[in-house]
Amino acid sequence: MVQYSYFPGCNLKTNAKGFEKSAVAVSKKLNAELVEIPNWNCCGTVHTMTSDNLMKRIAPVRVLSRSRKHIEELEDSPNEVATLCSMCNSTLKIVNKEVKVDEDKLSKINYQLEEDEETYAEDMEVKHFLEILRDSVGYKNIAKKVIKELKGIKVVPYYGCMLLHPEEAKIDDEEMPSVLEYLMESLGAEVIFSPLFKFCCGSYHIVDDETIVDSQVSKILQDVRVKGANAMVVACPLCAYNLDYQQKKLIKQTGEKNPIPIFYFSQLMAIAMGEPIEINHFEDHQIDPRKLLKELKLEG
C-alpha cells in the first residue's frame, strides 16, 4: 500500500470530520493511504504576503519538517505532504516555494528550528489529495472502484480561490480547471458548469462581517439554482461552512424552497464506492444531504 504523510489542518478535526473520514476511507481503497502526521501543528493560513515577516513562516516550515520525519515510518512513501484542506495546501505550497528560492529566509527559519531539531532540508513537495487522485491514482482506477454510480446527482464543482491561486499553489489551470469535473464524471454524476466556480466565498470575513459572506454566497447559490443543479461539491472546509451555514440562515430569511446540499468531493467518492454513510458525518451539515441521497436512492 502506498502511504502518504497526511496533514489534516485544524478544521478537519472539528467542523470537517466527514471530509477527513471519507477521504481516509477511499484513500485506502485506492492504494494511496492517507496517514496522519502524529504531531502536526496549525499551518497558520492565510499565508503572509509580506516580504519581511519570518515568524509567520515558521509554522508551515515546521509542518514540512515534521512530515519529512514522519515519512521514515511509512511504507513506500514519496517525499510529499498530502493535504485535504485547500487553504492549508495553498499556504504550505507557497511557503515551501519561498524558502526553496530564498536561502536567506530558510537559514533564518532553520536557526529557530535548530533547537527543536526540526530544521527543514528543502526536500518535500506538497500535494493536494485531488492532485494525487488525478496524477498518481488516475480517473480510470477511481471509476473501477465505483459500485454505485451517482445517478441523479447534478453537481456544480466549486473550487473556491485557494485551489487555483497563485501560480505556486494552484493544482489546475486557474481560469478553466477540470479536476473536479473529471472526478465527478468518473463517479457517474452529472456535472453542471457555473462561471462562479471560483467566486470567493468570503473566506475569513465570516468572523468580522457576515454580510460580506452573505453577499458572495447568495450570488453563488443563485447561479447554481438557475443552472438546475441539485448539489455542489467543494474541497475547502471554510467554503463548505460559508456555503452551508450561511445558506441555512439565508433560507430562513428569504423562505427559499430549494436547498442545495454541499458535499466534500471525498464524501461523494465514499458514497459511490459503497462506504457506510455514517463515515461522512452528514449530521454536521446544516443543509442535510441525506434528503437528496434518499430521493435518489443513494444513501446505502
Q: Residue 191's closest CA among 149, 163, 232, 159?
A: 232
Please give the Cα distance from 221 to 205 (Å, whole number).
18
- Contact status: 182 vs other proteins (CB under 8 A): no
Please give the Cα distance from 118 to 64 (Å, whole number).
9
Comparing CB distances to other proteins, the nearer of 78 and 166 is: 166
Comparing CB distances to other proteins, the nearer of 176 and 207 is: 207
DSSP letter string, 153-199: -EEEE--TTTTT-STTT-SS-SSS--HHHHHHHHTTPEE---TTTT-
Q: Of residues 197-256, which lie at the interface with other proteins (CB under 8 A)?
A: 198-200, 202-208, 212, 215-216, 237-238, 241
What secondary structure letter does DSSP report for 82? E
Comparing CB distances to other proteins, the nearer of 83 and 186 is: 83
Report the run of H or E that residue 183 belongs to, with start and end: helix 179-186
Q: Of residues 139-178, which lie at the interface with other proteins (CB under 8 A)?
A: 161-162, 164-167, 174
Strand 80-83 and strand 3-7: pairing? parallel
Q: Of residues 45-74, which lie at the interface with other proteins (CB under 8 A)?
A: 45-46, 48-53, 55-56, 58-59, 62
Residues at the site binding other proteins, with contacts judged by CB under 8 A: 8-11, 13-16, 39-42, 44-46, 48-53, 55-56, 58-59, 62, 85, 87, 112, 115-116, 161-162, 164-167, 174, 198-200, 202-208, 212, 215-216, 237-238, 241
